[in-house]
Structure 1
Amino acid sequence: MDIDPTKILVRYNVQKEKAQTPDQMAAEMFPKDEPAKSIAKAIFEGEEDDVIEGLEKAIEKGANPIKLIDDVLMPGMKIVTDLYDQGVVFLPNVMMSADAMLEGIEFCKESAGSAPKPKGKVVCHVAEGDVHDIGKTIVAALLRSAGYEVVDLGRDVPVDEVIAAVKKESPMMLTGTALMTTTMYAFKEINDRLLEAGIKIPFQCGGGAVNQDFVASYQLGIYGEEAADAPKMANAILAGKGLAQLKDMFHKH
């Protein structure tokens, strides 16, 4: 048989294994057409002015501002979160990109005179007694940049306020962040109060003080190890996943 031995036992990805910088990896993921390519690049670089400039040009040429949110801004941000998931870029990059993308959304909303319909509503808070809100801020930004409406209650939020907000807003999910072990027990109380009220929404809990064993010990709790898990959970809820399935998806066994 006439077989070319050079093609045997070559791993399929050897050709791609040349070291790539994050910028090069992102460049391969950008859309091919303009203005989507320039806008995606500006989101990746966290350049708010360039995002707005690209959107202005697109709208001048007749693009629908609301369609630009779904077709250009969202996919541009997804490139950043995908690279974050792969460990290629880090949280500060994600935050800069999210800010640039959210500025773009505001600009599109103003240009259109209307807002796109959010995918769903999420209430976020930092546990009572806890003033460390960087984690919650990141969760809220990532949820917003994934197309969700966020009701941000802030930090050191009393349990009563969390329950009142959930009753008032009827969110698809509640998130809680705690960085001090003394404050995380508020989550158990929130869980019990929600169940007493007959409200069974997923309650995503995370932050430095919290671990999976603690969160798994109460019925509504789902542990989110990373801030980026929040939009993934929201997407899973939209796709019809219930509490048991969410625990299955996000808890390490």
Structure 2
Amino acid sequence: MTSLDIDPSEILVRYNVQMEKAMSPEDAAAELYPTDELYRPIAEAIFEGEEDDVIEGLEAAIDAGKNPIALIDDALMVGMKVVTDLYDQGVIFLPNVMMSADAMLDGIEFCKDQSDEAPVSKGKVVCHVAEGDVHDIGKTIVAALLRANGYEVVDLGRDVPVDEVIEAVKAENPIMLTGTALMTTTMYAFKAVNDRLLEAGIKVPFACGGGAVNQDFVTTYELGVYGEEAADAPKIADQIVAGAALDALKEEFHKH
């Protein structure tokens, strides 16, 4: 048999390169949207980061008889999951996620305003930037993603003294504490927070990340769980809600 005898259509192809190149982020999202005609426009608006369109979609769903609080889980969370799934796959990037998270948070506030009910939080998380560090973009992203995934966030801000972190954890009893640091000179505050929490008998998972922070450092203290990316924060929180213990979190999120 010569090469002329081979029918190209019968050759198995592992990846269709032409299709991959043709698949835009919008096309990828379209395959993940809910099919419900009331929920789909809301999910699309979240993906596009269009706050006004999110509200318009929610109004239409409420006018059709949908419960405003139920829409948080049934439409807003579903739309945000499309965004986070595509982010995980590298199809879209962090600025897209932030725009979508802002649109979703506006939607949540609208739903709350339209109802006498209060949405059920998945859990409370305390977030802060290490003492001495004023770079809060990472913390801001972490807080937004946690809120977008249904968590109540207590945001302590930037350059937070260790004492204030400890007081907040004692007062709020969160399922998780997060800390970010951009400077190597400030990340050592995390070790101080860890030690003070242990002295108080508090063993809350402490998710740490930021430009200065690496896994080797985080593994030097007992409560530390390393988050390589801001998007890891809600994933770690979800694992905690599902019942994962500290050792299991380290096994899941630390590279070995």
Taking the TM superposition and a 5 Å limit, the aligned residue runs for 1:5-20 are: 9-11=12-14, 17=20, 19-20=22-23
Query: Which stretches of structure 1, 4 residues or more, deviate above 6 A after TM superposition?
Result: 12-15
Kindly tell me: are residues 141 and 114 of structure 1, through their superposed partners in 2, closer, same or farther at Cα, counting changes over 3 Å? Answer: same
Partner residue, 1:173? 176
Taking the TM superposition and a 5 Å limit, the aligned residue runs for 1:89-168 are: 89-168=92-171
Which structure 2 segments of 5+ residues have no match? 1-6
2:47 counterpart letter in structure 1:
F
Taking the TM superposition and a 5 Å limit, the aligned residue runs for 1:1-253 are: 9-11=12-14, 17=20, 19-253=22-256
Distance 2:17 2:86 in 1: 20
- In structure 2, the residue corresponding to 1:113 is in which secondary structure? coil
- In structure 1, the residue corresponding to 2:184 is in which secondary structure? coil
1:117 counterpart letter in structure 2:
V
The TM-score normalised by the length of structure 1 is 0.95
Give the Å deviation of 1:239. Answer: 1.1
Which structure 1 segments of 5+ residues have no match? none
Partner residue, 2:4? none
Give the Å deviation of 1:19. Answer: 2.5
Give the Å deviation of 1:11. Answer: 3.2
2:207 counterpart letter in structure 1:
Q
Distance 1:238 1:74 in 2: 17
Give the Å deviation of 1:10. Answer: 4.1
Kindly tell me: are residues 7 and 14 of structure 1, through their superposed partners in 2, closer, same or farther at Cα, counting changes over 3 Å? Answer: farther
2:44 counterpart letter in structure 1:
K
Give the Å deviation of 1:7. Answer: 5.4
Distance 2:156 2:173 in 1: 14
Distance 2:202 2:19 in 1: 50
Which whole-Å deviations, capped at 9, do the CAs of 1:136-186 have from their partners, x for residues lacking one? 000000000000000000000000000000000000000000001110000
Which whole-Å deviations, capped at 9, do the CAs of 1:165-219 have from their partners, x for residues lacking one? 0000000000000001110000000000000000001000000000100000100
Distance 1:86 1:234 in 2: 20
Give the Å deviation of 1:115. Answer: 1.7
Distance 2:8 2:163 in 1: 71
Distance 2:20 2:57 in 1: 33
Distance 1:87 1:24 in 2: 14
CA RMSD of aligned residues (A): 1.5
Distance 1:167 1:201 in 2: 10
1:77 counterpart letter in structure 2:
M
Which whole-Å deviations, capped at 9, do the CAs of 1:84-118 have from their partners, x for residues lacking one? 11111111110000000000000001101222110
Give the Å deviation of 1:32. Answer: 1.6
- In structure 2, the residue corresponding to 1:116 is in which secondary structure? coil
